Amino acid sequence: MRKENPITAWLRMQTGLGSGLTPESLAQWQRERIRAVREYAGSHCRFYEKERDFTTPEDLREDPEAFLCVLPKEIARIITLRTSGSQGNPKRVFFTAEDLEATADFFTPGMALMTKPGQCVAVFMGGSGEYTIGGLLKKALAKNQVECQVHGLIRDFEAAGKAAGGADCLVGIPGQLLRLSRLRPDLRPGAVLLSGDYVPESVCRELKTVWETEVFHHWGMTETGYGGAVECGAHAGAHLRHGDLYLEIVDPKTGKLVPAGSYGELVLTTFARRGMPLIRYRTGDIGRLLTGPCGCGDLLPRLDKVMGRRENLIFLPDGDVISIHLLDEVLYPCPRIRDFSVSMTPDYLFQFQILGEAADLDEIRGELLLRWPHLSFRLERTKELPSLGNGKRKISRMETSME
């Protein structure tokens, strides 16, 4: 018999549901946890004294201390998040030691999906210290008898190449590991774990080809306590920390829940965080939940690949999404395309200007329809693209329909 996904096995224990763990029993268990965290937060911190529909990043910026549910001396780590270019206070997130231990508890089964006892992992993400991503991974992997070397974000790629040499698994952010693969195509990590708000498919493909490796996605953010969800070897959505986190998917404009399976903004509730629980926190990340069994046998909802930040996406009437980044993924791999620009009419007709004399427009349209079968695409060749005003590419919106 196939071995059970270690995350599923861990959730059986963590929730106490054991062999009775099903999507339905989990949902019931989670409803009770939501009630409990509302009660705890409502009686331990200022912010949740009154009922609120949502918690926003602005709330975290304005008065982070209002979320504090324990005495300041019980806080083991404060993470300060500055958004580049934005005015005002940074976001601050507080954790007790046990809040972060809970993340390590998730990393243990999570990393067992891609490593075996006796192997070695090289981590090219933030920090030394017990309660950083690196420190927590190290702690988690020690329980699996896996060695872990934490190198932090890559500044010196030559040195990183040397450090990655003997590792069975590399952990890092997409752009940095892509650059490392171009410098050191000879590396052969058995597995690569990518974390980031958007993991470009083109990066995954290149890493798989160049390093002949298996690429896993992880989704998480500081507000989830770093860890959030990770793919298994079936690569059909990421397995969530269902015992610690609850995700709802809402329409970013109206705040209403979207129909099952549709894209929307991920809204986060933490169950067991003592320092700074978050209730219905608007993450700004766009994604959707997958239901139905995973290839590994797990039956619980999974998080599909996160599509990035809400400000970059256009929501389509069928629940799907489109963005310039998603179009890049489809168009840039097509041979003979040098560049393109695109505009959209109010009735979702997409008009492309393609730079590249020998580009095969029918082939490109075919690729687009494979990804978005319900949309209309019109393509024409051009000798010159409109210049970019502020340097940022995007799908431009036309005021009127084409016909």
Residue numbers of the site for Zn ion (CB under 5 A)? 232, 234, 294, 296, 298
Q: Which is nearer to Zn ion, 172 or 301 (CB)?
A: 301
CB of 197 to Zn ion, least distance (A): 22
Is residue 375 within 8 A of residue 368, CB to CB? The reply is: yes
For the chain, give percent helix, strand, coil, nearest 5.
35, 25, 45
CA dihedral 195, 285, 288, 20 (to 10 degrees): 70
CB of 359 to Zn ion, least distance (A): 38
CB of 148 to Zn ion, least distance (A): 23
CB of 240 to Zn ion, least distance (A): 11
Q: Which is nearer to Zn ion, 232 or 379 (CB)?
A: 232
Q: Which is nearer to Zn ion, 274 or 302 (CB)?
A: 302
Q: Which is nearer to Zn ion, 234 or 375 (CB)?
A: 234
Query: How many angstroms separate the CA atoms of 382 and 366, rounded?
Result: 19
State both tokens at 147: 């060695």
Three-state DSSP state, 247: strand
Is residue 257 within 8 A of residue 248, CB to CB? The reply is: yes
Listed residue (78, 130, 73) closest to 104, CA to CA: 130
Q: Which is nearer to Zn ion, 240 or 294 (CB)?
A: 294
CB of 297 to Zn ion, least distance (A): 7
Query: How many angstroms separate the CA atoms of 64 and 80, rounded?
Result: 10
Using a 10 angstrom Cβ sphere, with 0-12 exposed, 13-18 middle and 19 or more buried, the burial of residue 209 is exposed
CB of 158 to Zn ion, least distance (A): 37
Q: Which is nearer to Zn ion, 134 or 301 (CB)?
A: 301
**250, amino acid identity:** V
CB of 299 to Zn ion, least distance (A): 10
CB of 191 to Zn ion, least distance (A): 15
Query: How many angstroms separate the CA atoms of 240 and 305, rounded?
Result: 12
CB atoms inside a 10 Å sphere around CB 83:
11
Q: Which is nearer to Zn ion, 138 or 305 (CB)?
A: 305
Radius of gyration of the chain (CA): 22
Q: Which is nearer to Zn ion, 69 or 113 (CB)?
A: 113
Listed residue (301, 262, 267, 302) closest to 283, CA to CA: 267
Strand ranges, E, within 319-368: 321-322, 339-344, 349-355
DSSP label at residue 357: T
Partner residues linked to 149 by β-bridges: 122
